[in-house]
Each structure stands twice: as C-alpha cells, then as structure tokens.
Amino acid sequence: MAPYYGPHQSQYCPACSSNTRRNGCTWTTLVNNIINVSKGKKHPSPDYIHSLVRTSETTDPRTPGWSVPDAVLASERYARRAGNDALRLVNRTDIGFAGVHGWNGIQLALKNMRYVMLQGDSDRFGNNTCSGAFNGNHMIGINPRTRMHNSRRQHLINDPICRTWRWEYDSIIYSYARKLVGTGPLQWAASKGRVPLVA
C-alpha cells in the first residue's frame, strides 16, 4: 500500500485564466490537495477555488497571489460546500503538527499521510527540472509518497508551474522553504484529512 496520487493540476491549464497563469500557484496547489485527499473524486478548477476568496479578504489585497491563510480560508469554504471536512487545510506555520514544529513537523505530517502545502523561494529548484522555469515566492504541494534515490529521500511533489508530478529531494524542498523565511517559521499548511492508501 502507498499514498494515493491523482492527476496533476497545472496553473497553465488551457482553461485557466491569465490571473491563474501568472499568480495562481497557491490556489492551484489547493486543487492538488483536494484531488489527493478526495482520492480523485473532487477536482475543482483553479479559477473556481480562486473565486471563493474576495481580494479584500486576502492577507494582503495589494498583492495578486495568496498566502497560507488565504488558502486555508478557501479550503474551509470549499469543504463546507462539498460536505467533506477532511478537505480543509490547517495552517501549521505557528502550531506545528502534533506539537512538532518546523521541518520536523512537516516530516511528521507527511508520515501521518497529510498532504502538505509549502511556501518557499523557487530559485532553490534546479534548472534541470520544470521548476527551474520560475524563480521567486512560490507554493508547492507535497504528497506523502516517498522513494530513495542515490541514497537520499525524495517526495512526490506538485509544482503548479510543471505539467505533471515530479520527484524532489527532501533537502532541496527544505532549502526552498527556508530561503523564503530566513530564520523565521516555515510557512505551511497540511490537509485535515489523510491521503488515502492504495494498492
């Protein structure tokens, strides 16, 4: 048995608005969270998810993108409409997971089959990957599924600027998250419900 991973949602989908293509990494990553936690039964469009939060309600209405709290608010509204509380996000930036904070908390959440949304600086990703096409503040999703590659652990990630899933080393994911905040707390959220296990 292994964690389910569903079809990848890119922010560059043909039906996506120009706003989503330019600024939609966070709400697109929330779509990937919903896909994975619902085992593919729910697959809203990125633009629909974006419509759930008015610009005036966002953390910083002056900026076009979303923060972790904005994604949490959208997830609450979507989960309520879907009648499935497991689809909600929990902002773990300050509270950690089961009392464990920072990178160790993220690892614990993944071990407990939560889907993690993590903000960071995308220039930490190599130019030999699809993620290298963008440098700047960004949001990715991390599936609990892992593998060992070159004696190092990788997680399966949803980078919304990519056309499909890809594997990334945990050390690179950590560097991506840490560069954005310096010595501050890592900016992340985790699904309330677990990613289902499949054969």
pLDDT at 78: 98
pLDDT at 42: 98
CATH number, domain with residue 8: 3.90.70
Give residue-wise pLDDT tens across range 151-165: 999 999 999 999 999
Please give the tally of structural domains in the chain: 1
**179-187 long-range contacts, Cβ below 8 Å, gap at least 24?**
179/120, 179/121, 179/123, 179/124, 180/119, 180/120, 180/121, 180/137, 185/93, 185/94, 185/101, 185/102, 186/93, 186/102, 186/103, 186/106, 186/118, 187/67, 187/68, 187/93, 187/118, 187/119, 187/120
Domain that includes residue 66, residue range = 2-198
For the chain, give the mean pLDDT. Answer: 97
Q: Are 1 and 32 in contact (CB under 8 A)?
A: no
Q: What is the pTM of this model?
A: 0.97
Q: How is residue 2 written in tokens? A: 């292994």
pLDDT at 3: 98
Give residue-wise pLDDT tens across range 74-127: 999 999 999 999 999 999 999 999 999 999 999 999 999 999 999 999 999 999
Give residue-wise pLDDT tens across range 89-103: 999 999 999 999 999
Give residue-wise pLDDT tens across range 3-46: 999 999 999 999 999 999 999 999 999 999 999 999 999 999 99
Q: How is residue 5 written in tokens? A: 């991973």
Evaluate the CA torsion angle 84, 88, 20, 60 in order and state its sign.
positive
Evaluate the CA torsion angle 119, 120, 124, 128 in order and state its sign.
positive
How is 118-142 classified by DSSP, letter by letter? EEEEGGGS-TTSGGGG--SEEEEEE
pLDDT at 108: 98
pLDDT at 31: 98
pLDDT at 147: 98
Q: Are 145 and 178 in contact (CB under 8 A)?
A: no
